[in-house]
Amino acid sequence: MSSHALPATAPRKALPAGRAQALARLALATAQARGPRLFDHLVRELAATLDVPLVLLAVAADGPGLLRTLAVSLDHKLHPNFKFPAAALDQRGPDSFFAGERMAIAWALPLADSTGQPLGVVAAMDRRQPPAVEAGTVQSLLEVVAARAAAEIERARTDETLRAVALGVSESRSGSVFEGLVRLLATILQVDVAFIAQPDATVEGGMRMLAMSCGGQVHQDIPYPLAGTPCATVLGQCFRAYPSGVQALFPDSKDLRQLGSEGYAGHPLAGPDGKALGLVAVASRRPLAQLERVKATLKIFAVRAAAEVERLRADQAQKQAVEDLSQREEQYRAIFESSLDGLFLWDEEPKVVDVNPAGAALYGHAREEIVGNTYPSYMPEQYVRGRLEMVRRALAGESTHLETRVLRPNGTGFEADLRVIPFQHRGRPHALAVVRDISERRQRERELQHSEEQYRVIFNASVDAMVLRAADFSIVDVNATYEAWSGYARAEVIGLDRIVANPQDARATIRALHEEALAGATVRLETQLLHRNGTRRELELRGVPTLHRGRPHVLYIGRDITQAKQAERAQHDSEQQYRAIFDASADGLVLRDADRRAVEVNPAYLAMTGYAREEVLAADGMLAQLDPALRARLRVGHRLALAGKELRFEISSVRKDGSILHAEVQGTAVTYRGQPHVLYAVRDSTARVAAEQRRAELERQLRQAQKMEAIGQLTGGLAHDFNNILTSVLGYIQMAQERPPAAQDQELVRDLAQARLAAERAREHVAQLLAFSRPRHGERKLLAPAQVTAQVLQLLRPNLPSSIAVESEADDEETATPPPVLADPVQFEQALLNLCLNARDAIGEQGTIRLRIVHAPAWGHCASCSAQLDGGRWVGFEVEDDGRGMSQDVVDRMFEPFFTTKEVGRGTGMGLAMVHGILHDHGGHIQVRTEPGHGSLFRVLLPAATEQPSSKARGAPATVAAASPARLRGRVLLVEDEPIVSGFMQDLLRSWGLDVVLECDPKSAARRLATADERFELLLTDQTMPGMTGLALARQARRERPRLPVLLYTGNAFDITQQDLDDCGVASLLRKPIDPATLRPLLGRLLEQGARPLA
């Protein structure tokens, strides 16, 4: 059985009402059928008219040889749609569709569109054999239904095509407009080639394709000749179509032959002034069908392509104008003043510094009203803010572009193309705003596209409530959804210029938004839609500007968001409060989920840690904590917090920049969006911890300073008393040694010499005690290295056990005597002694300490300051031990104050720090060679001095003269409050021949000096006395007796400067304990200088 013809053997029985009446009734029913159930209506009417059990309407389905039903009537009831092979109508018989229904006979008629292209099939089946209706009648009835169904299918496909065309064309954007258009055009029309071309300005009679889609590939910038091509009949003329045989019509076109084109159609591109801009065309290897559809499609594409060509030309012209402006100042003014576009030059303030006549005319202002100002006050704030932002971006070097509506002072406006570009003017950055009135162009575009835009908007929003309002706010149209939601019929609201289905408080807002939409903006509002029975719906309302019958309208589209709004409101209330508190908190807040991933963080936390929000949210756990053990404890604490336990702890972490962050952390379990989380509040305690550490350190330093000050005061007092004692001891020894040789025996001489040496040693120790009690820079002297090492060995040996040997040796390579060094003997000996004592501690029970002098270039770098040492002249003192050695970690830190490897109570950590301070104060360095288990070598380096020290060994006893020196003559006023010193001094001075007058009270001595009754050749006074110092007494003596020589002695001269001595008239200063060998010649010289008696 064929699916395209009726069986010849079918019985010919007339319908009860006759063939003509049946046809008329069916034709009327199909013509009146409308809406989405059209096909269901058609099959049911046909089944009822034929009185057959089965009627179906089917079209081609996806897949070769398949049909799918659009509507099925089985036993006068609608049956679900299905797919079936087309061959079933020919080969399997009528009963193959519904097994068991026992269909005996079937009729089928193909569906075709207006060009004859197959669309599908309409079929009827009957269980009766022979059938109750004759074949001619069935044929006629099927033809009626097929014609109506084919028309509806073709209309729906055409509408879908036009909607895709309008949507695709309107969504094409700059940069790839032409490529997107030709690709979309080829897809919609199902052609092999689609292209957009314009005349080639470089070749006469030539064309250049802006874009061409061929076989799915897009090509650009393809030249071709216009003559002999169908394009010549389109350019600057009208739509042309050659459905078939195009190669025969244009035999000279090589492109048509190469493409194998059979059909061609093209539409011209025209500018606003009617000037030919180019064309858009398609070509196909098959004959073109549905030419009206092709024409409508090409027209839409031609409008969009022409607008883009015109825009590109305008951009090129505008770009050229701007480039010309920057070349020369003279050209700038000519072009600036003559430009038809409005030009506004902005400076860096920003304010307008220049405007051309066109710009002033566009806005309706005089030039003087614009120059020197910014935007006028009548313009909306949002408008001004956006335009000034464009100016600032241009001043920063960025070009901006905007198409907008511009307001004038009189309330009118115009559509404008606004470009703001960077511009150098007189060596300074400026912004040039170029304003072009595009009102006419936009109006033409809207007129061309209003039907397509209205169609697209309506179909995009077809499931929502829609209201179309005119510029005067009157209702032009509403859809069925609006009628259902509002309860008002369409006829009730058409023409109303008021709001009938929205709350009273929203009506003024909607009116205002209406004006904004008429100005070109898409507006949005959330409001309510009221049913006339009082029920309400939450509504998302959008107002879209559109053209309806050539006039501006606004299409309002309302979407029901009642349920979403209820959920959103509940969530918003909760989250709004949370967010405000969260962001405003001065403490750092971070919200973590059950896996410890951060899901939210506040600005305070980001500022505290230095990380960006994205880094925190993307991290697994804490970014700022690197300690694995602490991470493990934090994970345990997080689980406890999730279980409801509140966490409180302090943490030391690392910021992004590497600095230390101390923080107090509190963790609290919370529920966030239905899931358990922990909210951590982090308070930065870095400053507090640092302050506490500083306070503790300062307190420790204060305690240490107070302790050292107390020890120093005690030490100073003891040293002062010892000085007085030593003064007497040394003096009496000196007096004994000065006796005539006949009065001495040799053993007594030796004993006195040893006693003097011991007293000298005691004096040195007292000097050290005084230096400790009152820190000072010691007196530096030229020292022979051998004398230094000898003195250190003498101090060291009593402090060593017998199991530790000491060796002293000179450098084997040094044959000459090492040069001297300039140093404070006490401080330098103390530094060497500290190194020797450290060597003793490193050796332990048994070993050897080697102390040697070397005179050789330095090697390597300084161990305490890391300075690289050159090969200058140095004198080295090496202390070497065979103890346990040191690791590199200890070497790196051993010069730090308070660092020690000794057990608690045995070391202060100050020994090597003091060595470092002494050496660097002397311009020296220290080097270290050590290895664990192989001992250590410390080399102390001091710069070699150029002078030579005194040959007299420090501490050697004074040589006793063979004969007593000449006796002294004169009257001396001695002022001393200590009996032990005053008694010795009287004996000493009288033994030298002097007449001594003793005063134990300095004030009494001052009174004696103030009278002229007594004669004195010299004043000898102690410094530290009750009631008056020696300097004060000397100052008074200078006033009373200006020529009286004054000799001052003291046990602590650290606070006395030379200026003090000069101001008080002190001739010389001696330090206790007084050395008689130094005192006697000094007295002789002073007495000689002041030999003339004083009244």
Bridge partners for 559 per DSSP: 540
* pLDDT (mean) for 608-616: 89
Model's pTM, two decimal places? 0.32
Which of 117-126, 234-243, 415-424 has the least mean pLDDT?
A: 117-126
What is the number of other CB atoms lying within 10 angstroms of the CB of residue 1036? 20
The confidence score (pLDDT) of residue 951 equals 45
CA 682 – CA 648 distance, rounded (Å): 10
d(CA 754, CA 756): 5
The CA distance from 434 to 342, in Å, is 6
- E strand segments, 413-550: 413-425, 428-437, 465-470, 475-478, 523-530, 536-548
pLDDT on residue 1090: 67
**170-204, pLDDT tens digit by residue?**
555 544 789 989 999 998 888 999 999 999 988 89
AA letter at 164: A
> Percent of the chain having pLDDT more than 90?
28
- pLDDT per position as a tens digit, 994-1008: 999 999 999 999 999
* Cβ count near 123 (within 10 Å): 26
Question: Which segment of 224-233, 297-306, 655-664, 794-803 scores lowest on mean pLDDT?
Answer: 794-803
3-state secondary structure of 2: coil
Q: Is the pLDDT of residue 953 over 50?
A: no
- pLDDT band at residue 8 under the 50/70/90 scheme: very low
Q: What is the pLDDT of residues 1002-1059, one digit of tens each?
A: 999 999 999 888 899 999 999 989 889 999 999 999 999 999 999 999 876 667 888 9
Question: What pLDDT is stored for residue 162 in this prediction?
Answer: 57
Is 225 or 867 the better-scoring residue by pLDDT?
225
**Considering only CA atoms, which of 385, 387, 410, 414 is closest in space to residue 400?**
387
Mean pLDDT of the chain: 81
pLDDT of residue 93: 55
For residue 1094, pLDDT beyond 50? no
- Per the CB < 8 A criterion, the answer to whether 446 and 426 are in contact is no
User: Hey, what domains does the chain have and what are their CATH numbers?
Assistant: 19-159 (3.30.450.40), 174-307 (3.30.450.40), 328-440 (3.30.450.20), 461-560 (3.30.450.20), 566-684 (3.30.450.20), 785-943 (3.30.565.10), 971-1089 (3.40.50.2300)
Q: Tokens 């104060």 sit at which residue? A: 921
> Who contacts 801 (Cβ-Cβ below 8 Å, separation ≥6)?
845
Phi, psi of 659 (to 5 degrees): -75, 160
Pair 1024, 720: CB distance under 8 Å: yes
pLDDT band at 462 (very low <50, low <70, confident <90, very high): low
Lowest mean pLDDT among 13-27, 581-595, 1064-1078: 13-27
Name 1073's Cβ contacts closer than 8 Å, sequence gap at least 6: 723, 724, 725, 726, 727, 729, 730, 731, 759, 763, 766, 1051
Q: What is the pLDDT of residues 735-772, one digit of tens each?
A: 776 666 655 576 677 767 767 776 776 666 666 555 55
pLDDT band at 21 (very low <50, low <70, confident <90, very high): low
Q: What is the pLDDT of residues 260-304, one digit of tens each?
A: 999 999 999 998 888 899 999 999 999 998 888 899 889 989 988
